[in-house]
Structure 1
């Protein structure tokens, strides 16, 4: 046996195969579309047993080149187990599969029962390599039969690139049908009714509503959500009231075709496609898996942080995963922040931008169509589309929505001297003095957590950093400034009554709770025992945090702080195994995050 990828077998190759006995009772096809399936060759039990040895795991299908079939690539359905009296192979011309078909097994039956929804060959043939949209969304490949269970196409790409998905959506992959569209002068509303459930993602939403809200002349909101039930929406950022604006004043046009799934956004001045989802890839809206794809105006795409990428993003089947994670910057990994916003430079020189307001973990695929696919595990698909037309206009429109940074003090724009590892105040002073003696101008001296006592927030070690308040005063007299790092995690390892930040936090209930709803979630960062985490979503946490900062400032007059480890970070990497066994922790789809669980290196969900 020689392992090989599955390839399409043309009719002329099939004709070379030995036909089965015409009235073989063991080879029947339970499909309503029998013309797709052809019985092509008898298989003996010994041959099936040989193939079975290749299949080491019932869920790991191995494609093999059978020694007794030299003209076609085949695979054997593992759940058949190649049991006694298997004497035929079933060949699917569309999926290029052969299946041991002695008895109806679960997967085979499913394939046959779904025959009416399988794509026709021409639906796959019309999809060029660059227009393929991955039907899996995972980092691994699956065999043709599993791809077929998703009603998708499976074939090797023409150019052989390993990045191009083998399993991809066919043309006109219809999961929802537009049933009603109504428009006013300030927006449009569309309803989409489900016509085909997603097999692999449970709890599909039966009716989806799309609100097209003309926020301003150059900002369009497209909000896609459950028409009947309320779903989670991220509470931050708090969006300002905006619009609506009359349609005849906008720079964009919304197009909806009731014969297609999705919508199209165009630039009014030149009909340039800005965001076109119509019959492109698959649209899925289930409880914990939401997927949508769109054609983009060009290959010149920027943004989608935070990842270590080139400034201009790679559109050659590039996957970008967004989910905050404390990770040293390396390519292909989700990092400290999540910013599902991109800016596109169009061929005309105009610019546009799109933000997805969704805080769940997500994968974003960039494809050479040019296209984009979003896969997220909760919430809504709430898009804001910015028409620019200049790059600075797009950024201005984006920040008018999410908020702009405060105007920093002039001194903060100067050079800052900072690193972890200044273990004592004397070491800090030496570095500061050495830099000054070298005539290197700088404005601000920092200390990382080394200044803390037992790595506890809002303290300082009056032994190794004895004299810190006087040093800060001296910096101020020299016209310089001093800043420190602070973490959101509060230590639990001190005796009751000896560490106010913990005692007061417990009393004020400002820490993140575990599944009980009242006990603080216990993690581990730098503290000597365990760590609890300030829940900044709670209003009381703001007053609590300000109180702790004021108290520390009374001890030494720092000029600012840097909030570190607020991804949030948890060093207990096995927390995924100790989190509750609920779907929020173990969703049906997990983006390509670093680690095995959503909670790896962070808190339970």
Structure 2
């Protein structure tokens, strides 16, 4: 299999996101790169409790530490594999009484992800940072050792950020024209905060309201040969349009859900039927 990892790139346009969006953007790619999107919304859970007249629904929000868990076993729909299997992957195992909360999740102690090695360095369109991995072993193989993080202010309403392998220029990149700008935006409607503490994270805020549009604080950043992942907190549960995948409603489920992003025009059908061509 060819070594093929796509540069991860997301664009913000005005008050809306472009086609690629929100909570856990796990992997973009082709030629064997895992392509999954996990959504965790800003929701409250309700736990039923006994009452003489029946069951009374009382609101009980999920604790923050649990609501920001990122599943370390995305191939297991329950998010609850065995403890041994979870720990063999280098992840944390802890049960939860709340439905859908993963029991096997990425470490929340700062031991996973990337750290800022150097930067920021000014570029023609913004800034760039050099990131170093926290640990070599990833969920699906070795994590790339050094990654560049670029922020480009394309115009006052359009921001681009991207990650790339700092040590290997030969990595595959999708051969498509992307929007470029001649000069950096002078009065952007957004602000970018990059946290240099260990581990690395960043957020994007709207200047007019200070609303946080993108916040990678939950961690879990992964950049490996066949698996790319970035997590962000959702400012809302109203998420639409996430590329090639099969879903039952226009509004996406943001309740600890995983969504594949197919690197092809048509996603696989849900009826488990496969076309066969005979010559």
Q: Considering only aligned residues, what root-mean-square deviation do their CA atoms show, in Å?
A: 2.6
Tell me the matched-pair count.
Answer: 207
SS in 2 for 1:319: strand
The answer as to 2:66 corresponding to 1:129 is yes
Q: Establish whether residue 290 from structure 1 lines up as the match of residue 228 from structure 2.
A: yes
Separation in structure 2 between the aligned mates of residue 297 and residue 317 of structure 1, nearest angstrom: 15
Work out whether residues 201 and 219 of structure 2, in 8 Å CA contact, stay in contact via their aligned partners in 1. no
Task: Quote the Cα distance in structure 1 between the aligned partners of 2:200 and 2:209.
Answer: 24
Residue 232 in structure 1 maps to residue 172 in structure 2 = yes
The residue that corresponds to 1:442 in the other structure is none
Quick one: distance in 2 between partners of 1:326 and 1:283? 26
Offset, 1:273: 1.0
1:237-277, Cα deviation, whole Å (9 max, x unpaired): x224334323x411111111111322111112122111111
SS in 1 for 2:240: strand
**TM-score, normalising length from structure 1?**
0.32
1:128-147 equivalences in 2 (<5 Å): 128-139=65-76, 141-147=80-86
Alpha-carbon distance between aligned partners in 1 of 2:142 and 2:67, rounded to the nearest angstrom: 31
Show the counterpart of 1:261: 200
- Which residue, out of 145, 154, 159, partners 1:220? 159
Asked whether the equivalents of residues 72 and 139 of structure 2 are also in contact (C-alpha less than 8 Å), the reply is no
Distance 1:322 1:297, change over 3 A: same
Kindly indicate whether the alpha-carbon contact (under 8 Å) linking 1:201 and 1:286 is maintained by their aligned counterparts in 2. yes
Match of 1:303 in 2: 241
Is the counterpart of residue 195 in structure 1 residue 118 in structure 2? no
Distance 1:143 1:136, change over 3 A: same
Question: Greater share of strand residues, 1 or 2?
Answer: 2
Q: Distance in 1 between matches of 2:132 and 2:95?
A: 33
CA contact (8 A) 1:214 1:243 kept: no
Q: 2:191 touches 2:207 (CA, 8 Å); kept in 1? A: yes
- In the alignment, structure 1 residue 171 sits paired with structure 2 residue 108: yes
The residue number in structure 2 matching 1:322 is 261
Aligned equivalent of 1:156: 95
- Contact kept? 2:135, 2:143, Cα under 8 Å: no
Q: CA deviation at 1:524?
A: 5.6
Output one character per residue of 1:73-114: Cα deviation in whole Å (capped at 9) or x when no partner: xxxxxxxxxxxxxxxxxxxxxxxxxxxxxxxxxxxxxxxxxx
Could you say which structure has the higher helix fraction? 1
**Large movers: runs of 4+ above 4 Å:** 325-330
Contact 1:198 1:204 in 2 (8 A): yes
Shift of the 312–224 alpha-carbon distance from structure 1 to 2, 3 Å rule, reads: same
SS in 2 for 1:148: helix
Q: 1:524 to 1:158 in 2, by over 3 A?
A: closer
**Change beyond 3 A, Cα 1:326–1:177:** closer
Structure 1 residues 38-83: Cα deviation after superposition (integer angstroms, max 9, x where no partner): xxxxxxxxxxxxxxxxxxxxxxxxxxxxxxxxxxxxxxxxxxxxxx
C-alpha displacement at 1:153, in angstroms? 2.3
Alpha-carbon distance in structure 1 between the residues aligned to 2:249 and 2:120: 42
Task: Quote the offset at 1:200 in angstroms.
Answer: 4.2
Distance 1:261 1:328 in 2: 38
CA distance in structure 1 between the partners assigned to 2:148 and 2:208 by the alignment:
28
User: TM-score, normalised on structure 2?
Assistant: 0.66
- For structure 1, the residue ranges without an aligned partner over 5 or more in a row are 1-125, 334-522, 531-605
Q: 1:272 is matched with which residue?
A: 211
Structure 2 residue runs of 5 or longer lacking an equivalent are 1-62
**Aligned position for 1:210:** 149
Contact 1:132–1:281 (8 Å) recurs in 2: no
CA shift, 1:305, in A, is 3.5
How far has the Cα of 1:191 moved from its partner?
0.9
